[in-house]
Amino acid sequence: MRCLRILVLGFLSLGIVLPGPSQSALYRYGRVGNAANFQASPRPGFDLMGGGKDLDEAFRFLCDRAGGGDFLILRATGSDDYNSYVQKLCRLNSVATLVIPRRAAAADPFVAQTIRHASALFISGGDQANYINFWMNTPVQSALNEAIRRGVPIGGTSAGLAVLGEYAYSAQGDKPDAPNLDSKTAIEHPWSPRITLVRGFLDIPILKGIVTDSHFAKRDRMGRLLVFLARLKEPDGKAIPPPELKIRGIGVDEGAALLLEPDGIAKVIGHGGAWFIDQAGDAGFTEADKPIEMRGFTVRKVVPTHTFNLNTWAGDALSYKLSVEDGVIHSTQPAHAIY
């Protein structure tokens, strides 16, 4: 109770509206702007942010589609730092942060109701395992997908980006304080229990068949995304797509964002770029303790200000091929560049 009291006092010192004591015992909610909700008419759009420093243009993309309504940031841990940032950046009725740190909180009626009232949604960075463990198969997941169907714009950064695709690397196999899963580990141990893939947390039609990854070139995550794609083609009984669905990957670099329209047209902004990957060949899963052999990957790299069409899987892109042999990624680019 002492920790809760300190937290509540901290919110009050910032002039943030709080729910009643019984509600705040489960979750944390802070709001700036008008206390009453505004009945807005949002327009759909999807904001895939690669992590790192926040991009004003990426947040304005969501704000512009919110219809002047209520912008809601969702977290499993952390503070309400985004409230003042978004409020200064955009003209909105309100900006609020809802921290949902356990499944009991996700079942509280106030939480789902707050999501349903939002006219723009943003899932922050952190640990995507928390989002899957705490929110999947709860009223939070239902409310999010209802909002998407209503045309509410939604975005996410870092871990928030990781859960936007139909398929997600959930990080549920990681131990607390373990280093991030890197490409070398994924390639050398493709059946590691750390490689956990889930399906269907969010239902965004244009991201069907897509698995996403963040901090892409900055943290050298190409290899692990290739392994995710290969694993999703294997009949291991988990998160496996129907045979008619083509599985593809999107990697967004730190400092970049992909602004995606419902019709599939996407624009890259910021710094770095985005990589669109599909696989025509098969993965060579030989022995569990041996590095994976993978062939037939086509990569299309799109740099800032350029566009890509997810429906045709083509656009203003540099195209090249990748394969993995003996644990090493080989590229057809000059100097064998991977990115």
pLDDT per residue over 47-86, tens digit each?
999 999 999 999 999 999 999 999 999 999 999 999 999 9
| Residue-level pLDDT at 9 | 31
At 23, the pLDDT band (50, 70, 90 cuts) reads: very low
Closest CA to 331 of 217, 248, 207, 190: 217
| Residue-level pLDDT at 311 | 96
User: pLDDT tens-digit profile of 32-46?
Assistant: 999 999 999 999 999
SS (H, E, C) the chain: CHHHHHHHHHHHHCCCCCCCHHHHCCCEEEEEECCCCCCCCCCCCEEEECCCCCCHHHHHHHHHCCCCCEEEEEECCCCCHHHHHHHHHCCCCEEEEEECCCHHHHCCHHHHHHHHHCCEEEECCCCHHHHHHHHCCCHHHHHHHHHHHHCCCEEEECHHHHCCCCEEECCCCCCCCCCCCCHHHHHHCCCCCCCCEEECCCCCHHHCCEEEECCCCCCCCHHHHHHHHHHCCCCCCCCCCCCCCCCEEEEECCCEEEEECCCCEEEEEECCCEEEEEECCCEECCCCCCCCEEEEEEEEEECCCCEEECCCCEECCEEEEEEEECCEEEECCHHHCCC
Average confidence score pLDDT of the chain: 90
Does residue 205 surpass a pLDDT of 70? yes
| Residue-level pLDDT at 22 | 35
User: pLDDT tens-digit profile of 226-270?
Assistant: 999 998 887 554 555 555 568 999 999 999 999 999 999 999 999
User: pLDDT tens-digit profile of 116-137?
Assistant: 999 999 999 999 999 999 999 9
> What are the φ and ψ backbone dihedral angles of 299, each rounded to 5 degrees?
-115, 135
User: pLDDT tens-digit profile of 292-328?
Assistant: 888 899 999 999 999 999 999 999 999 999 999 988 9
User: pLDDT tens-digit profile of 178-187?
Assistant: 889 999 999 9
Does residue 21 surpass a pLDDT of 50? no
- The structure tokens listed for 252 are 């967004």
| Residue-level pLDDT at 289 | 66
| Residue-level pLDDT at 1 | 35
